Structures are given as structure tokens and as C-alpha cells.
Homo-oligomer: A and B are copies of this chain.
Amino acid sequence: MIKTISYPEESQWTMLVQRPAVKQSDLFEVAENIFKDIQLDGDKAVSKYSQKFDGIHYNFSPLGLNILEEAENKLTDSLKESIKKAHQNIYKFHAAQAESINKIETTPGITCWRESRAIEKIGIYIPGGSAPLFSTVLMLGIPALIAGCKEIILCTPPDKNGEINPLILFAAHLVGITKVYAVGGIQAIAAMSLGTESILKVDKIFGPGNQYVTAAKQIAQLYGTAIDMPAGPSEVLIIADKTCEPEFVAADLLSQAEHGPDSQVILLSDSSNVIENVNSALGKQFEELSRKELTKKALQNSKAILFESIDECIDFSNQYAPEHLVLTIRNAEDKIGRIQNAGSVFLGNYSCESVGDYASGTNHTLPTNGFARSYSGVSLDSFVKKITFQSVSSEGLKNIGTAVEVMAEAEQLLAHKNAVTIRLNKMNKS
């Protein structure tokens, strides 16, 4: 099912870690024009583009709270319980990320520390389409609420009847989001970035989306709105040795591949048997899938690579920097120290990626496309900024003042120097 490469030379790795080329978006100009229009005309322009692109009427207001409340009547009990269970785990893990204040006396009389403050205004985008991504509502809404963000708004495109899937509404209501707008696409991102009569201008925008949304988020950054992270197709890298269960590995590869034709799945092993057995299980399971066509395309982008050792597999994985890394090897925890670049890591036979996607408690908004080399996934940190504080006593200034004067003078910033000198002089006089 997926092609196998055996014992590649290290010089080939650079080529092997390349993702399938994603066509650079030509949508910047389109997106920028919509931003300009919405900056000028506000809701009127939002309404125009909602009609044009989605064929729906924009309501000029958030949904009524009763609509959010009533959503739960449309869901089965098992679905509601499942979502609440996931909520609990995600809440527990993200609440534990809050940092305590740690005051450091760097020099006698000089105390420095950091305090976290919520980013006040947050915009969450949830794509529409056939599969309602209510799990992403939990992943973004829960840490925003824990952080204490004052204003949290959610935009999501409605269906042709102007309605939003009750799963999304139930998740939003459960999390505590009260302002949901039935608007999608570039116009939703632009409205949150710029503000309109009905939609608040936010400080930071979170959430996945298609190429239109991705382009709009990049434009939003140019307008001064922060975004969660750069986007790219989803991917998994699985390292498996003889202790793995080949059917489990095949199932995990397929669960990533079904995300879309541009998803990528990589299998690394130190055993050609493992690769053969996984490939054969893959073939069997594939036949039973519902999204065969796009899964097939994703598998064409994918590869199994045979290495000399598990350590070499991990070295390769570090260079690839996968969004999801599954280690289904003997004593997986012993290898954690070697892992340098990954978004989220799944250890052992029972830690399947879908558990992390929904309910283990970790966040599923993760860096793809090699961005795990420099970005973290979404966490409580993503919803706060850390402000530094310093308290310098007269004693502290006596201890450090001369050093500051000397350095400021060397940087030719004499007013910087003078701010210290004027204080030291006053102290000497009194």
C-alpha cells in the first residue's frame, strides 16, 4: 500500500523529510481586497461576501443564547456524555499548565518576576462543511476560558439554511462561549481582525480552515492580529518495532490519511517484517473504509522507511519534525530524551492518535509541515502573555547603577545614562 525505502543514506534524509509540495496560495490578493472592503463598510461588506461565497444571509448579530441552549436537545445522551468526558480531561490538563509566580532577586535590592495575563479578546474559527469539528471548539475554548479571556467569540459558517450544526453549538455552550456568529471564510477572519458593528475586533485568532481561511489569517497578521500558528496539512510519523501490533499501526496510519489527500503518513521501523505486516494489514483495513478516494491519495504521498535501529528512526523523525509522533516500541518512555522535534507524542500500543485528537486531555491544535521545529502546539500559554515586573530599591540601584551608566554610554544613549545618574546624585545628596 505504501512504498518502502530501505536504509537510506543520511544525505538522502533532507529529500525524504520534504512534505508533498502544497501549492502556494494565490488567494492573498482576494483576501486583502475583502479586508479592505470590510474595513471600509463593516457588516455591510460581511453580509455581501456571506451572500456571495456561501449563499447565506448574515444576521448582523450573534446567535440567540436560546439557540445555544437548545442544541443539546438534538444530541444523543451518549454523544453528550462523551463530549463532557473529553471536556473534563482537556480542562484538567490545561488547568495544570497555569504558572505560579517566581520572584527572583537578581542582585540585592532588585527583584524580577513574570505574571501571566489573559489575552483579552479571542476569536475562534471553526470550519463548516460536512464534518462538524466540535472537538476543536473544546480544544480552543477550554484553555481560553481557563486563561480568563474576557471576550471569546466564535465564527463558523452555517449551512445553506443558515443553521449551525448542534454539535458545535453544544460544545460552545458547554465550554462557556456565549457569542457565536453564523459567518465563515475570509469575511469571518477579516471581521474578527478589523472589528465591525456586530463583531468585536479581537487580539488573536485561533482555528483551522481551508486555503481561504489560511490566507485570511496571514493577512490578519499584517493588520496586527496575532494568530495561533502557521497552517499545513496534518501528518503522523509512527516508529514501530517487533513489539508493535501491525493492525494497530495500520489503523493509526489510516486514521491520519483520512484527513485529506494532502495528509502524510510515515512509518519507520528497524524490521522489514514489521513494515510488511503493517502494509498487509493496511490493505485489508483500507477496503472497509468510507473515505477511500482521499485516503488513497494521502497514502500515495506516504512512505515506510527501514532503518538500522530505533535510535536512527528517532534521529530521522527529529529531522522530519512530525505533528504527531507515535512510538510503538519496547520501553517507549526510555526514548523520550532523544525526541527533539514533534508536536505531540503517543507512547505505546494503546496510545493511539485519535485518543489525543479527542479526549486524552492534550491539545490537538499542533504544528505541522515541520513547524514543530520551532512552534509548540496550542496550550494555556497561547491564551496569555507573560508580563515582566521589576522592583528596584535605592540599594538595588546603588548596586547596579554604575554598570548601567557605563553600558548606556558605550551604546551612546546618554539620556539612558542620565536617568540613572540623576537618581544616584539625589541619593548621594540626601
Q: List 11 A-B contacts (CB under 8 A).
A: A79-B407, A93-B106, A135-B411, A204-B374, A245-B426, A255-B419, A291-B414, A346-B390, A356-B390, A359-B400, A375-B385
Q: Which of A48-56, A63-71, A109-117 contacts B (4 or more CB under 8 A)?
A: A109-117
Residue numbers of A with Cβ under 8 A of B are 78-79, 81-83, 85-86, 88-89, 92-93, 96-97, 99, 102, 104, 106-107, 110, 112, 114-115, 117-121, 130-135, 167, 203-204, 218, 221-222, 224-226, 230, 245, 247-248, 251-252, 254-255, 257-259, 285, 288-291, 295, 332-333, 336, 339-363, 367, 369-377, 379, 381, 384-394, 396-397, 400-404, 406-408, 410-420, 422-423, 426
Asked whether, in the complex, the Cβ of A419 is within 8 Å of the Cβ of B354, the reply is: yes
Q: Which residues of B contact A203 (CB under 8 A)?
A: 373-374
Among B167, B295, B352, B414, point to the contact of A290 (Cβ < 8 A).
B414
Q: How far is the CA of A121 from the CA of B336 in the complex (A)?
A: 20
A402 in contact with B82 (CB, 8 Å): yes
Q: Which residues from B are CB-within-8-Å of A332?
A: 391
Contact yes or no, B251 A418, CB < 8 A: yes
- The minimal Cβ–Cβ distance linking A247 to chain B, given in whole angstroms, is 6
CB distance from A297 to the nearest CB of B (A): 14
Known: A226-B375, A248-B423, A289-B415. A104 touches B110 (CB 8 A): no
Residues of B within 8 A of A120 (CB): 340-341, 373
Flag if A388 contacts B345 (CB, 8 Å).
Answer: yes
B119 with A106: CB separation less than 8 A: no
> Which residues on B sit within 8 Å (CB–CB) of A89?
106-107, 110, 112, 400
Q: Is the CB of A112 within 8 A of B353?
A: no
Contact, CB under 8 Å: A416 / B361: no
User: Of B114, B259, B391, B419, which contacts A353 at CB under 8 A?
Assistant: B419
Instruction: Give CA–CA (A285, B221) in the complex, Å.
Output: 40
Cα distance A423–B346 in the bound complex, in angstroms: 15
B255 touches A333 (CB 8 A): no
- Chain B, Cβ-Cβ closest to A342: B387
Q: Measured between C-beta atoms, what is the minimum distance from A423 to chain B in Å?
A: 6
Instruction: Report yes or no: A352 in contact with B406, Cβ–Cβ below 8 A.
Output: no
Tell me which of B288, B360, B373, B403 contacts A85 (CB under 8 A). Answer: B403
Whether B110 and A97, one on each chain, are in contact in the complex, defined by CB atoms closer than 8 angstroms, is: no
